[in-house]
């Protein structure tokens, strides 16, 4: 086609094709200048960057290459047809007729003739002469162009390779071809090719194989996307998952400052120093126990070895509620909803209920054979989770207190939380399971979630969205997962980077605070649902074991393995709203020492 453009008035066809080839393929770049330089006939230049290829005697190859651009299948078809028909001029003609280009071209037959000539070495002057005679009728540039043919296609490939990615893969193959080409082409275009400087020796060696062989290898390699001298290597590990779907439209409309810095301006200020520090000597460093709770009556109960102490946040006074028999220890404490009673789980499996105002034991409930590490109240129901993996529901009003046995966990239950309306119960265990129970049917869990890779102690129901449950995994897992407990779907996840020992939702802000064990020993406040970490407070010297929120939701108490109990004003109400409600009532605070010992 190109030669048609060059030597006959059919230029317009070339233009037509070139516009197609160029169409959309290389909109931003001008054709590389060396291509122009090599093209001996200037009228080609604007018609198509691929025109030199069209001069090729090897008709179908370059033509289809340029016409079909990166279409591998067409290369395949072409490659195979060429391999079978290469030596027969007739079949060449027939094949040529099949190509769509032919249908458009008037000078077709001439080119098929040229094509037959090409089976001989194209760089031979004699050949070109012969070809010229054979097609005298046709073109005049012919003798000039023939030497270039098979080779000039390579030149143009070289030039177009930048744009045509399929061509690029051939890299070295076509390079060698190109050099052979160039060496022969230099006669025609020495001046233009100054910068090219071909190694003549190399050119000679490479020119030895028949051009068809080269072309065949070339197109075969091309078609298969294989290059003999380069390898395409992929970094095999899968890239990390994106934490959430992204809407780019938001991104483009973002303020110039990055998300972190801009949000910092609007971010709530959180006091990073504790409001108060209390010693908690003898606090058992055991992840599976739950030894701290804050009642609705603003009293904090903490289990220290064999004793339960109650600290009144209003008055700052401490009293020892009970001491167990020397053969056991306190493994869990939990205030009833009204703040009048505290449930105490013991290492023996016994569960006691104490009236705090009276300082007297109300009753003992037996049933568990193993220590009771976690408890939860739902009105008159007390749920207890034991090391055996069993969870019992006790109706504390009646003699036959055990009303349900929840069988799901196979290892120690360490997390248990009733939803505020009492319709659902979430339990987490050392078997890495999260079980979500429907209060109406406790035979089997409604959902059992296996996503955590370590024990699940931290459980928290969202106060503003009853369907939302947050669960945090242990040191091997380090994730917080958020669940829709109606559908059972996981809606969000955070990798916190350390063991999650407890989770508490803010009641006033759309935030959740997590406490960490190894290695951070910190408190982190995350906004939800953006999951941005608003602040990380280095809270304790060793892992934070328990946390609980004050009844007004402003203050967080944390107990850690460093045997201290700290109070943090993490969810302080905005200035202007009523201050000093409950929690560390301002009156008590003033009188209290910054440090005091509970016992």
Partner 1 sequence: MADKSADKDKSKVHKLSLKGSAKLVTEFFQYSIHTILFQRGVYPAEDFTTVKKYGLNMLVSSDDQVKAYIKKIMSQLDKWMQHSKISKLVIVITDKDTGEHIERWQFDVQIFNTKKSKSKSNPADENAISTSASKAATTETPKTEAEIQAEIAALFRQITASVTFLPQLQGDCTFNVLVYADADSDVPVEWGDSDAKEIVNGERVQLRGFSTSSHRVETLVSYRLGE
Please say which residue, 159 or 345, places its beta carbon nearer to partner 1. 159
Question: Given CA atoms 117, 119, 123, 125 in this order, what sign does their dihedral have?
Answer: negative
Residue 470 and residue 460 in contact, taking contact as beta carbons nearer than 8 Å: yes
Rounded least distance, CB 131 to partner 1, Å: 27
Pairing type for strands 341-346 and 351-355 reads antiparallel
Rounded least distance, CB 153 to partner 1, Å: 12
Residue 13 and residue 51 in contact, taking contact as beta carbons nearer than 8 Å: no
Output the CA–CA distances (angstroms, integers) from residue 197 to 188, 192, 207, 445, 515, in the order listed: 14, 11, 16, 78, 69
Q: Counting Cβ atoms within 10 Å, is residue 338 exposed (0-12), middle (13-18) or buried (19+)?
A: exposed
Please say which residue, 25 or 306, places its beta carbon nearer to partner 1. 25
Rounded least distance, CB 72 to partner 1, Å: 9
Residue 12 and residue 145 in contact, taking contact as beta carbons nearer than 8 Å: no
Determine if residue 293 is left, alpha or beta; phi over 0 gives left, psi from -120 to 50 gives alpha, anything else beta.
beta
Rounded least distance, CB 398 to partner 1, Å: 53
Please say which residue, 26 or 404, places its beta carbon nearer to partner 1. 26
The encoded tokens of residue 9 equal 């008035």
Please say which residue, 136 or 260, places its beta carbon nearer to partner 1. 260
User: Which contiguous run of DSSP H or E holds residue 76?
Assistant: helix 72-85
Residues 6+ apart with CB under 8 A from 555: 275, 549, 567, 568, 569, 570, 571, 583, 584
Please say which residue, 343 or 473, places its beta carbon nearer to partner 1. 473
Please say which residue, 92 or 157, places its beta carbon nearer to partner 1. 157
Question: How many Cα atoms sit within 13 Å of 594 on the Cβ side?
Answer: 3
Rounded least distance, CB 460 to partner 1, Å: 23
Closest among 33, 32, 43 to 3, alpha carbons compared: 43
Rounded to whole angstroms, the Cα distance separating 29 from 162 reads 10
Rounded least distance, CB 484 to partner 1, Å: 20
Rounded least distance, CB 28 to partner 1, Å: 5
Output the CA–CA distances (angstroms, integers) from residue 180 to 203, 210, 212, 227, in the order listed: 4, 11, 13, 18
Please say which residue, 267 or 306, places its beta carbon nearer to partner 1. 267
Please say which residue, 240 or 576, places its beta carbon nearer to partner 1. 240
CA dihedral 322, 327, 332, 337 (to 10 degrees): -40
Rounded least distance, CB 304 to partner 1, Å: 38
Rounded least distance, CB 525 to partner 1, Å: 16
Which residue's structure tokens are 């395949």?
76
Please say which residue, 241 or 327, places its beta carbon nearer to partner 1. 241
């Amino acid at each position: 086609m190109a030669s048609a453009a060059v030597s006959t008035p059919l230029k317009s066809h070339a233009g037509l094709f070139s516009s197609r080839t160029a169409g959309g393929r290389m909109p931003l770049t001008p054709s590389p200048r060396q291509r122009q330089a090599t093209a001996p006939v200037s009228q080609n230049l604007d018609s198509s960057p691929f025109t030199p290829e069209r001069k090729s005697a090897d008709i179908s190859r370059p033509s289809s290459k340029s016409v079909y651009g990166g279409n591998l299948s067409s290369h395949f078809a072409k490659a195979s047809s060429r391999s079978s028909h290469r030596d027969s001029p007739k079949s060449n003609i027939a094949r040529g007729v099949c190509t769509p280009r032919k249908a458009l071209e008037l000078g077709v037959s001439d080119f098929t003739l040229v094509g037959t000539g090409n089976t001989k070495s194209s760089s031979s002057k004699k050949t070109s002469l012969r070809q010229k005679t054979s097609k005298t009728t046709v073109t005049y540039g012919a003798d000039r162009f023939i030497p270039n043919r098979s080779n000039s296609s390579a030149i143009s490939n070289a030039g177009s390779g930048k744009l045509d990615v399929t061509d690029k893969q051939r890299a070295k193959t076509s390079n060698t071809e190109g050099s052979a080409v160039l060496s022969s082409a230099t006669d025609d275009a020495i001046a233009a090719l100054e910068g090219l400087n071909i190694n003549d020796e190399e050119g000679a060696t490479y020119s030895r194989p028949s051009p068809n062989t080269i072309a065949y290898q070339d197109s075969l390699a091309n078609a298969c996307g294989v290059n003999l001298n380069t390898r395409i290597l992929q970094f095999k590990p899968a890239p990390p998952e994106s934490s959430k779907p992204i809407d780019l439209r938001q991104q483009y409309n973002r303020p110039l400052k990055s998300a972190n810095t801009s949000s910092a301006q609007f971010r709530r200020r959180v006091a990073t120093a504790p409001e108060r520090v209390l010693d908690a000597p003898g606090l058992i460093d055991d992840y599976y126990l739950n030894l701290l709770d804050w009642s609705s009556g603003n009293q904090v109960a903490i289990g220290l070895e064999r004793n339960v102490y109650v600290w009144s946040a209003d008055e700052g006074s401490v009293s020892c509620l009970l001491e167990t028999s020397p053969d056991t220890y306190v493994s869990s404490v939990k205030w009833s909803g009204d703040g009048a009673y505290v449930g105490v789980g013991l290492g023996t499996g016994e569960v006691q209920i104490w009236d705090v105002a009276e300082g007297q034991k109300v009753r003992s409930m037996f049933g568990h054979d193993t220590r009771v590490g976690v408890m939860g109240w739902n009105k008159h129901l007390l749920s207890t989770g034991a090391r055996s993996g069993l969870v019992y529901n006790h109706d504390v009003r009646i003699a036959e207190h055990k009303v349900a046995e929840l069988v799901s966990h196979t290892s120690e239950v360490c997390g248990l939380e009733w939803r505020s309306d009492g319709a659902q119960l979430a339990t987490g265990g050392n078997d890495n399971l999260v079980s979500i129970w429907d209060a109406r049917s406790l035979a089997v869990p409604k959902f059992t979630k296996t996503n955590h890779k370590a024990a699940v102690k931290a459980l928290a129901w969202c106060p503003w969205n009853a369907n939302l449950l947050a669960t945090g995994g242990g040191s091997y897992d380090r994730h917080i997962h958020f669940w829709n407990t109606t559908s059972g779907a996981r809606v969000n996840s955070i990798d916190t980077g350390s063991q999650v020992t407890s989770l508490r939702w803010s009641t006033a802000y759309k935030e959740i605070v997590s406490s960490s064990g190894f290695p951070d020993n910190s408190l982190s406040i995350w906004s939800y649902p953006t999951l941005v970490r608003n602040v990380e407070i280095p809270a304790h010297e060793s892992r934070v074991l328990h946390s609980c929120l004050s009844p007004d939701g402003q203050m967080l108490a944390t107990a850690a393995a460093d045997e201290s109990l700290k109070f943090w004003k993490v969810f302080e109400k905005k200035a202007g709203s009523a201050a000093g409600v409950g929690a560390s009532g301002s009156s008590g605070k003033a009188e209290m020492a910054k440090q005091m010992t509970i016992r």
